Amino acid sequence: MKLAPSVLSADFANLLNSCKKVENAGCEYLHLDVMDGHFVPNITFGAPIIKSLRKDIKMVFDAHLMITDPDKFIPDLVDAGCDIITVHQEACTHLHRTIQNIKSYNVKAGVVLNPATPVETIKHILPDVDMVLLMSVNPGFGGQKFIPEVLEKVKTLRKMIDERGLDIEIEVDGGVNSQNIKSLVDAGADVLVAGSAIFNNEDIDLAVMNLRNAVKG
């Protein structure tokens, strides 16, 4: 299991310091929620802030784009140092084209599904992606309640991927905590995003350890 702390719940005035803490705690990915106030009802940050963090952070930069027209921002996000760029199926009129666009910059490409979007809708794009991100909250805000129906989606998607022998990571994002993380990993999730479950704690090392221990059961 890989952990992807979402900086959305970090203290933005001390962002680099927070990122260093999760890096030192052994987290593999840094989950970067880019929001445009249009596709989702919130605004966060974009390429300039990601580029500043890149200078001092070695973790895999996992950019989750919650934006209406992702293609427009991909060159800047690649230049900022993103390693994986995921786009919403619901935001892309020509998803195949957008995925190919991301891959043309030699970074990994992924597709994100909102809680109500069935996994069957991405059957034909699976061979083209490196990651599928399943939302377990409605995107836009940190600290929301986990939607348990996503567990069934993880299981179905795991089966779809394994049956075809594809090399795709399943990431789950939203409301992940020490109570539900084991069920997600057991269902077949590879990468778990955690915002408030990590950053809403004084002791980041302890929060990360609690999540890892919860998976061991």
What number of residues does the chain have? Answer: 217
End-to-end CA gap in the chain:
13
Residues 178-197 that bind ligand DX5 (CB under 6 A): 193-197
Nearest 5°: phi and psi at 15? -60, -45
Place of tokens 């200078």: 55
Residue 171 interface partner, choices ligand DX5, Zn ion, none, CB cut-off 5-8 Å depending on type:
none
DSSP 16-42: HHHHHHHHHTT--EEEEEEEBSSSSS-
Distance CA 111, CA 131 (A): 7
110 counts as binding ligand DX5 under rule CB under 6 A: no
Residue 64 contacts Zn ion per CB under 5 A: yes
Stretch that binds Zn ion, among 20-28, 40-48, 158-166, 167-175 (CB under 5 A): 167-175
Active-site residue, selected from the candidate residues 33, 62, 130, 190:
33
Single out the catalytic residue among 130, 173, 186, 205: 173
Assess 68 for contact with ligand DX5 (CB under 6 A): no
Least gap, CB of 120 to ligand DX5 (angstroms): 22
Residue 117 sits in the site that holds ligand DX5 (CB under 6 A):
no
3-state secondary structure of 63: strand
Report helix, strand or coil for 190. Answer: coil
3-state secondary structure of 76: helix
Whether 173 is a known active-site residue: answer yes
Q: If residue 182 lies in a helix (H) or strand (E), which one and from where to where?
A: helix 181-187
Nearer to ligand DX5, 162 or 203 (CB): 203
With respect to Zn ion, which residue has the nearer C-beta, 64 or 88? Answer: 64
- Confirm or reject binding of residue 176 to ligand DX5 (CB under 6 A): yes
**Minimum separation from the CB atom of position 140 to ligand DX5 (A):** 5
Catalytic positions: 33, 173
